[in-house]
């Protein structure tokens, strides 16, 4: 989406011709097929605006709705993390087209409700949901670590279990500490390896949101 805006008219025409020639979607990622049915699903608010996370209650409601959609079309939801402007879910499904369609319907419903709440009719809320097929077990475990580490990576909390809109705490409760440490050490996500010290020195994307989270979570969600 962001690269498209930087292209001139001739470059856009050439790109569209290439995608059409290779039988690829014109304006969205090509859907991938996984032999083992394991996918990372990722979606973001349009231009990464903090719309889903306007407040903790909205984020909590959306987290519950998303989980219901995932559970309906997935054999397993291995990991999930919902942040104020995007989310990730690592799942096992044999119904990928149906799942993506139902996620699209969820995006439509939440867009309508949120735009009504903010008197912003016509605003684009979501960008496309894209899937990444897992290529190996190592790819799977590195992706699981990436999903659970995302709130730490973006500076919202310091530990996985501190983010309530994630399966990180549940994973740690059901996984022995030694195994969790081993899985992390053997499958550190590349994005974390490329930024040493991210966990300790990460800068919060939205200080205002984090402050409101600290105040509102205990008063509204406890």
Residue 46 has pLDDT above 80, yes or no: yes
Reported as a pLDDT band with limits 50, 70 and 90, residue 36 is confident
Q: Which of 64, 133, 146, 65 is nearest to 94 (CA)?
A: 133
97 Cβ neighbours under 8 A, 6+ residues apart: 31
Assign 176 a pLDDT band (cuts: 50, 70, 90): confident
Residue 28 has pLDDT above 70, yes or no: no
Cβ proximity of 166 and 82 under 8 Å:
yes
At a CB cut-off of 8 Å and minimum separation 6, what does 186 contact?
A: 138, 141
Sign of CA dihedral 67, 49, 131, 100: positive
Residue-level pLDDT at 119 = 97
Give the CATH superfamily of 31-221: Transposase IS200-like (3.30.70.1290)
């Amino acid at each position: 989406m962001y690269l498209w805006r930087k292209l001139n008219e001739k470059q856009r025409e050439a790109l569209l011709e290439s995608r059409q020639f290779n039988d690829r979607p014109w304006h969205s990622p090509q859907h991938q097929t996984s032999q083992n049915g394991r996918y990372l699903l990722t979606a973001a608010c349009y231009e990464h605006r903090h719309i889903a996370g306007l407040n903790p209650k909205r984020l909590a409601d959306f987290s519950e709705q998303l989980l219901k959609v995932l559970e309906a079309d997935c054999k397993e939801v291995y990991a999930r993390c919902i942040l104020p402007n995007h989310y990730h879910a690592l799942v096992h499904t044999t119904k990928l087209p149906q799942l993506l369609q139902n996620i699209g319907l969820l995006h439509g419903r939440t867009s309508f409700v949120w735009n009504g709440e903010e008197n912003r009719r016509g605003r684009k809320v979501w960008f496309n949901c894209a899937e990444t097929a897992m290529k190996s077990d190592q790819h799977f475990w590195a992706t699981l670590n990436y999903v659970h580490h995302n709130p730490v990576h973006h500076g919202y909390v310091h530990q996985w279990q501190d983010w309530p809109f994630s399966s990180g705490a549940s994973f740690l409760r059901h996984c022995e500490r030694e195994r969790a440490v081993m899985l992390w050490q053997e499958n550190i996500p590349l994005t974390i390896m490329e930024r040493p010290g991210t966990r300790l020195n990460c800068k919060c994307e939205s200080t205002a949101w984090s402050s409101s989270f600290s105040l509102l979570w205990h008063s509204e969600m406890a």
